[in-house]
Chain A
Amino acid sequence: GAVVSQHPSWVICKSGTSVKIECRSLDFQATTMFWYRQFPKQSLMLMATSNEGSKATYEQGVEKDKFLINHASLTLSTLTVTSAHPEDSSFYICSARGGQANTEAFFGQGTRLTVV
């Protein structure tokens, strides 16, 4: 399957600082990227959907000013957690899909964020 690379795989930051997570599609053009959040032993919760060159669409309850998403190219999307707090600690996962509607969705390795 296609490769989606997410970086970093883990990060520890101090409360009040910002953290940027990168998601790259390595061998295909990702017209749509999705960002998920996953708590321990729970399912993936969709945070936002981003299309290349457009503003992200956020799910209800997700603060767009706190979780900044940029999808500036067909191979790169970034999630910035601004002014992070301990409750933002979680596993963040990106997913990417190619151009055709309903092609397979491939996932990055995930980023474990710990805010201390």
Chain B
Amino acid sequence: QQQVKQSPQSLIVQKGGISIINCAYENTAFDYFPWYQQFPGKGPALLIAIRPDVSEKKEGRFTISFNKSAKQFSLHIMDSQPGDSATYFCAASYPGYALNFGKGTSLLVTP
């Protein structure tokens, strides 16, 4: 049972555009929501994370928007660059437990 649902499965964005990836969760006990970036053959790298008491968090070109009532959160990549082409995973966890990952979004940023 997928506890975190992620969409879209793949995304193509032109250089300079905004990439938006969405995730939804069911369990209200989750209280930590990170996003990871993964390049082929590498482990996931933490991009940005948010907790449910905050509705938005921005770090550089990456922004998480969090909607607690809708149980949804999203990643926005501003001014997308070809180097951002990778697979992105959202995740959620209970306090102290393992992360539950979404299925991933393959992002391609075209020149």
For residue B75, give the distance in angstroms from its CB to the closest CB of chain A: 16
For residue A52, give the distance in angstroms from its CB to the closest CB of chain B: 14
In the complex, are the beta carbons of B96 and A93 less than 8 A apart? no
Tell me the A residues contacting B by CB distance below 8 Å.
1, 4, 6, 32, 34, 41-44, 46, 49, 91, 93, 95, 97, 101-102, 104-110, 112
In the complex, are the beta carbons of B99 and A105 less than 8 A apart? yes
In the complex, are the beta carbons of B101 and A44 less than 8 A apart? yes
Partner of A105, one of B34, B41, B42, B104: B34
Residues of chain B lying within 8 A (CB to CB) of residue A102? 31-32, 93, 95-96
Residues of chain A lying within 8 A (CB to CB) of residue B96? 32, 97, 101-102
Which 3 residue pairs across A and B have the least CB separation, nearest first?
A: A101-B96, A107-B43, A110-B43
For residue A11, give the distance in angstroms from its CB to the closest CB of chain B: 14
- 20 A–B contacts from the bound complex (CB under 8 Å): A1-B46, A32-B96, A41-B104, A42-B103, A43-B101, A43-B102, A43-B103, A44-B44, A46-B98, A46-B99, A49-B98, A97-B96, A102-B93, A102-B95, A106-B46, A108-B43, A109-B42, A109-B43, A110-B42, A110-B43
> Interface residues of B: mostly helix, strand, loop or mixed?
loop
Residues of chain B lying within 8 A (CB to CB) of residue A42? 103-104
Query: How many residues on chain B are close to A (CB under 8 Å)?
Result: 23
In the complex, are the beta carbons of A104 and B31 less than 8 A apart? no
Partner of B95, one of A1, A44, A101, A109: A101
Residues of chain B lying within 8 A (CB to CB) of residue A104? 34, 46, 49
Residues of chain A lying within 8 A (CB to CB) of residue B25? none
In the complex, are the beta carbons of B32 and A107 less than 8 A apart? no
Chain A: CB-nearest residue to B51: A102
B36: interface (CB < 8 Å) = yes
Chain A: CB-nearest residue to B102: A43
- In Å, the complex CA distance between A6 and B36 comes to 18
- In Å, the complex CA distance between A96 and B97 comes to 11
